[in-house]
């Protein structure tokens, strides 16, 4: 069995690893910008986020033509 790598992106367009995440503050601030709270970006039905659909069709090559919120 193989588990795919999941990259979670915030609405500020930085990855989750760029936010200060602790047990006391699970949605901490971003270390790269002025974002004060980690908020996951919306996900399309194809499983990719808005960043993958920045220019319209999904750039991951799955054939998704537009962003459709799940």
DSSP letter string, the chain:
--PPP---BBTTS-BGGGB---SS-TT--BSSSS--S--BPPBBTTS-BGGGGTTSS-TTSS---S--B-
Residue 29: what pLDDT? 95
Residues 6 and 33 in one domain: yes
Residue 43: what pLDDT? 87
Residues 31 and 52 in one domain: no
Residues 64 and 30 in one domain: no
Residues 32 and 48 in one domain: no
Residue 4: what pLDDT? 64
- Domain encompassing residue 53: 42-70
Residues 49 and 22 in one domain: no
Q: What band does 5 get if pLDDT is binned at 50, 70 and 90?
A: low
Q: Number of structural domains, the chain? A: 2
Residues 49 and 65 in one domain: yes
Q: What band does 14 get if pLDDT is binned at 50, 70 and 90?
A: very high
Residues 69 and 35 in one domain: no
């Amino acid at each position: 069995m193989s588990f795919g790598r999941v990259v979670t992106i915030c609405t500020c367009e930085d990855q989750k690893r760029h936010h200060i995440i602790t047990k006391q503050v699970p949605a901490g601030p971003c270390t790269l910008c002025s974002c004060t709270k980690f908020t996951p970006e919306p996900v399309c039905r194809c499983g990719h986020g808005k960043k993958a659909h920045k220019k319209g069709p999904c750039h991951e090559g799955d054939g998704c033509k537009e962003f459709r919120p799940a």
